[in-house]
Structures are given as structure tokens and as C-alpha cells.
Amino acid sequence: MPPRRVAAFFDLDKTLIAKSSTLAFSRPFFDEGLLNRRAVLKSSYAQFLFLLSGADADQIDRMRRHITAMCAGWDVEQIRSIVDETLDDIVTPLVFAEAAELIADHTALGHDVVVVSASGEEVVAPIAAALGADHSVATRMEVSEGKYTGEVDFYCFGTGKVEAIRRLAEQHGYDLSRSHAYSDSSTDLPMLECVGNPTAVNPDRKLRKAAAERGWPVLTFVDAVAIRRGRRRRGSPYAVAGAAAGLSAVTAGAVAFKLLRSKR
């Protein structure tokens, strides 16, 4: 029986990118008439709090309810078009160089890369594709006649992420005991606990404490760089403008050493 495959599961916001992926699109949604000025200001304030202190489960749930109610009646294809047209300007400059390098390391080892996010799939899927991920799972909004109803079909948060990861593991033959997971938030403790190689990235206070208690590695990502959109070929370096300059030799060496020590 051939050995089962290994995957690396990445949270998105503040793990791969330096900003809330959903709130980052407030401006283009405003420009297209989907949001009013008050909604943009409210989103900007929420983003400020998100960056300042991190978001706990209650804050994220309130943010989710606010966003889903706000987008009721929006046309799904219009949202996908806006995201595609503005992705390079809005999100790809926010990718952490260290995260891009880590994705390249996993790819070089033959691991599948999976982005797992509580943000909507219309936002997450193109970001994951730009990062060269093999798969992505995200929150799915209910759609009727091509428009969002304001209800949620699947909330990819907390234990919902574990459900999605286990489903992918069954579909693609991943050995979760040998797989990796990365997140910044204590709300992702269930996701981190469901794999054999969890790592805290830019952790909030509660996750930092949990990581220390359990002996998990902790990584700090600080350098945001623009990336060139496009899928990388497996085994080839990931194309990131300036990523090498943004990484110290110590950080790159530590990441590579950690990955090479884990069973492939």
C-alpha cells in the first residue's frame, strides 16, 4: 500500500496575508455602488480593530453576521468579477514573503497546499489560486437566482474547518498525522490540533500561550510583498517579487530545517 499524501493547511488572514481578505475589498465594492460610505467606514474600523488586537470568536461571528446581512441581494457574478479585476491591486501586495517561501518549501517536498478560511469562497478561491495552492475551502453563502440571500450554507470556522479538512483528507488521501497546519488565531485551535505538525504564525495571546504549553513552533511573518499571479508548477520555485530579500537567512533556514525533519 503506497504511503498516504501530506498536506499543508494554511489559514488566510494574518497568516498568509497581512489583512482581512474580506474587508480588503470594501473600497472596490464601494466604487461599484455595493456599499455606502457608512458601511466602508464601519469596515475600515473593523479592520483597524482586527489588526490592532486580533479578533476573537465573538468578534469574528459579529463581523460575519454584519457582512452576510450587508451582501444580501448582491449579484454573485458581479462580486467574482470585482474580485478578479482588483485582486492584484488589493490583496496580492499583502502576501507575507515568509508565507510565500513556506509554501514553496512545502511544494518542493511534494506536499499539497490548501488554504482554509472563514472568508467567502468568492474571495478565497482566487487568492489561493494566486498563491499557487492546490485547493481551498471557505465559507459558502446561500445563493438564489444568482444573488446572495444573506444566509450561510457552510461556515468554514472553528470546527467547520476541521470538518472541511477531514473531508479533503478522505478525498485526496492525506495523512493528517503527518500533515501541517498554520494559523494566527486561537479560534483555529481545532484545525491545528487535527494535524501532526501544527505551527502558530503571528499568534494572538491565547494561541501563543497554547503553543508554548504544547511545544508548538511559533513563526513571525512581517514582510508583505507583491506577488505575480499565476499557478506555479510543482517542484519549481514560487514566483514572489522580492521574497528572497524579505527573508533572513535564519528564518529561511529554520523553516527548511523544520520541514525536512518532518516525515514526507
Question: Is-catalytic flag, 184?
Answer: no
**Which of 11, 112, 188, 223 is an active site residue?**
11
CA distance 18 to 223: 9
CA distance 264 to 258: 12
**Which of 13, 105, 184, 223 is an active site residue?**
13
Question: Is-catalytic flag, 88?
Answer: no
What is the CB-side half-sphere exposure of residue 229 using CA atoms within 13 A? 17
Catalytic residues: 11, 13
